[in-house]
Amino acid sequence: MDSNNNIRNKSDTGEGQPRRSFLKAAALGAAFAGAMLMGAGQAHAATTWKIQSVWDAGTVGYDLFEDWCNGMEEKSGGELIFKCFPAKAVAADNNSLFDSVRSGVLQGMNPFTLYWSGKIPASVFLSSYPAGPDQPHQWDIMFYSMGMLEKTREIYEKFGLFYVGPIQHDANIIHSKEPVNSLDDLKGLKLRVPGGMVAEVFQAFGASTVSLPGSDIFPALEKGTIDAADYVGPAVNWELGFSQVTDYILFGPPGVMSIYQPVDLMDLTVNMRAWNALDPKLQQLVEDEVRIYSQKHYLTIQKRNIEAMEKFKDAGDTVSRLSQEDVDEWRRKAIPIWYKWANKDEDARAIFDIQIEYMMNETVGYIDESDLEGVPGR
């Protein structure tokens, strides 16, 4: 009874005031903390990168890239958004794509690395080339275990760009109106191929080469202005209708789809200022995600290739395969052209030296000292 009276009396006499003051202070503190959290949320608003691919909308390549970009917001906890665009959506051609990323109009691009051979000579060695390393894992080894990634980033930094990493794509193959059963059959062939080193090696075997945009290949084959055309792999080439205008597909020996561009690498490259503005944890996320996407992209394309080859077969197309002897002769012609391109500047030579070391190692054994004897520019 006394106890109850004491409690009531304390309340009546105002001795409970400190508790009310404490509750008011706590409420004010919570409100202040909430305001601080809102401010922090505003300070860490999501970063959005606009990234253009060289894949056309509606292709399997762009569908894969778009899905990957759309997943970045969730993977980054809402801190980073990739807004992707198909070919020509922002930058109208490859030159403007390169310049748009350098200037910051776009924050990133998803190109075929070989596109920059005229701007960055070293880029011819950042994707496969005639008779060079011909397995995807070999390129991952050179990039991620032999210092090629770090050197590539040094080169790209000179252009205000950050090379995030390679993206495995596919081999490039040739579709022709007449069978090509050996390298001798290249003589006089009117052939669409990429320029640069690839064209020079085909020319060494007597082919007449021309460079055409992908959209011009089908009509050129249809009209007969070219006899054959290189492009990407079976999955995309089937979608482009090549079976309607050609009857033969050229592969290398069993296990090798292509001897001239067997590992056609893409990449993710971003504006250096945009990269440096990113939190290091997000930078690491992007690097990790590029490696994951590379595998997913490659494996999906390979599955589609298997399905496409069945379609080519059903349509009556015939596969021709070159022999191992053809590969050896191809390499003998290609090696001097390797060195011609490697000596264009010190960066190209630095990348190439990594690859020569790898190709001469017994774990690979593609070439030895006898292959290099008397080669100009060595």
Q: What is the DSSP string of 172-234?
A: --EEESS---SGGGGTT-EEE--SHHHHHHHHHTT-EEE---GGGHHHHHHHTS-SEEE-S-H
Predicted pLDDT of residue 23: 41
Domain shared by 276 and 345, yes or no: no
94 labeled part of a ligand binding site: no
Domain shared by 128 and 147, yes or no: yes
172 labeled part of a ligand binding site: yes
pLDDT mean over 338-355: 97
For residue 87, give the DSSP letter: T
Residue 33 domain-assigned (yes or no): no
E strand or H helix at 35? helix 17-43
- Tell me the per-residue pLDDT of 138-160, one tens digit each, with 9 for 90 and over: 999 999 999 999 999 999 999 99
Domain shared by 91 and 206, yes or no: no
227 labeled part of a ligand binding site: no
231 labeled part of a ligand binding site: yes
pLDDT band at 16 (very low <50, low <70, confident <90, very high): very low
The domain that holds 195 is classified in CATH as: 3.40.190.170
Domain shared by 190 and 279, yes or no: no
Predicted pLDDT of residue 10: 39
Residue 107, number of CB atoms within 10 A of its CB: 22
Residue 36 has pLDDT above 50, yes or no: no
192 labeled part of a ligand binding site: yes
Domain shared by 88 and 153, yes or no: yes
Domain shared by 270 and 347, yes or no: no
Domain shared by 79 and 210, yes or no: no
Residue 25 has pLDDT above 70, yes or no: no
Predicted pLDDT of residue 44: 63
Domain shared by 93 and 112, yes or no: yes
Domain shared by 150 and 251, yes or no: no
E strand or H helix at 31? helix 17-43
- Tell me the per-residue pLDDT of 364-375, one tens digit each, with 9 for 90 and over: 999 999 999 999
| Count of structural domains, the chain | 2
Predicted pLDDT of residue 58: 86
Domain shared by 108 and 240, yes or no: no
Q: At what angle do helices 148-157 and 136-145 cross, to 10 degrees?
A: 70
- Tell me the per-residue pLDDT of 77-103, one tens digit each, with 9 for 90 and over: 999 999 999 999 999 999 999 999 999
- Tell me the per-residue pLDDT of 243-295, one tens digit each, with 9 for 90 and over: 999 999 999 999 899 999 999 999 999 999 999 999 999 999 999 999 999 99
Domain shared by 279 and 235, yes or no: no
Domain of 328, in residue numbers:
173-261+317-372
Share of the chain above pLDDT 90, in %: 81
SS3 of 11-24: the string is HHCCCCHHHHHHHH
Residue 24 has pLDDT above 60, yes or no: no
Residue 88 domain-assigned (yes or no): yes
